[in-house]
Amino acid sequence: MNLVYDILIYERQLAPSIEFVDRHPDLVFVLDHVAKPRIRDDAMEPWTELMRKMAERPNVYCKLSGMATEADWANWTEEQLIRFAEVALEAFGPNRMMFGSDWPVAKLAIDYQRWVSIVAEFLAQLSDDEQSAVWGGTATRAYNL
């Protein structure tokens, strides 16, 4: 079976999710919305440490999505989102990171084009192959598309 399990959790659920992943080493997991960090509170910990621990599991991928809705919907900045995106990218790398929009839920805090623009600017630091992985290659591999 080529099953993929999407993990939709909040930061506070990362530790038990790591334990769950460890019990299923042959299953592929996709961590949705970078595990919904507390961007609104600018709380990098314990999220950063737990994301790094989760990334130690080679069968886990991370979806770069759903971030603006974890910030103050009316007053967030691109810099806030990028700080968290940098941690996720550093932990998982482009070959285990995939773009996601979280549409239509994301419309509460951001429109689709703005999110795509922020991600494109953020990914510009990567090689063409790495950018291609995040924009679709990683999802193709993870979901066996």
The residue ranges of every structural domain in the chain are: 4-142
Q: Mean pLDDT in each 10-residue stretch from start to end of the chain (145 residues)?
A: 92 98 97 98 97 99 96 93 98 98 92 97 98 98 96
Q: What is the pTM of this model?
A: 0.95
4-142 fold? TIM Barrel (3.20.20)
Q: What is the DSSP string of the chain?
A: ---EEEE---GGGHHHHHHHHHT-TTSEEEEGGGG--BGGGTB-TTHHHHHHHHHTSTTEEEEE---GGGS-TTT--HHHHHHHHHHHHHHH-GGGEEE---TTGGGGT--HHHHHHHHHHHHTTS-HHHHHIIIIIHHHHHTT-
pLDDT of 1: 65
pLDDT of 2: 82
